[in-house]
């Protein structure tokens, strides 16, 4: 999901900027846009809850964890789109961010070699 989020942003930078970076002063998203965003977040929360329920992730509040994942991904993508990333290889930087996030949530992070 994190890779799809970044791919959408890179393939649709203007749309992403309007949706998430508030580049148009006074712009108010439609009710349908808010519903679509809420549905996307709910899908992420469901994936997190499933990982908790199957003992892949440590027990935690799935909504809180989903918010943290989204905030991390959003921040990295925003920095990249605004050309504020410190590192030239933004692919590697983003992929390592995802690995770090997931490893930190895993019940058994030592078994996460497949993530690298």
The answer to whether position 24 is within a domain reads no
The answer to whether position 75 is within a domain reads yes
Angstrom CA distances, 26 to 23, 68, 107, stand at 9, 27, 44
pLDDT at 48: 97
Alpha carbon distance 29, 24 (integer Å): 11
The answer to whether position 85 is within a domain reads yes
43: which residues sit within 8 A by CB, 6+ positions away?
A: 1
Alpha carbon distance 84, 76 (integer Å): 9
The answer to whether position 63 is within a domain reads yes
- What domain count does the chain have? 1
The answer to whether position 25 is within a domain reads no
- Model pTM score: 0.83
Q: Which domain holds residue 54?
A: 2-19+30-115
The answer to whether position 61 is within a domain reads yes
* Tens of pLDDT, residues 1-56: 899 999 999 999 988 888 788 777 777 777 887 788 789 899 999 999 999 999 99
Q: Which of 72, 111, 68, 65 shows the shortest CA–CA distance to 95?
A: 72
């Amino acid at each position: 999901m994190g890779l799809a989020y970044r791919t959408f942003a890179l393939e649709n930078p203007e749309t992403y900027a309007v949706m998430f970076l508030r580049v148009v002063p006074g712009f108010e998203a439609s009710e349908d846009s808010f519903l679509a965003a809420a549905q996307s977040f709910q899908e992420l929360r469901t994936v997190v809850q499933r990982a908790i329920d199957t003992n892949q992730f440590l027990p935690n509040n799935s909504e809180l964890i989903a918010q943290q994942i989204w905030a991390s991904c959003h921040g990295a993508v925003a920095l990249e789109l605004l050309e504020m990333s410190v590192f030239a290889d933004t692919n590697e930087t983003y992929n390592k961010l995802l690995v770090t996030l997931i490893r930190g949530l895993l019940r058994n992070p030592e078994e996460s070699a497949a993530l690298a």
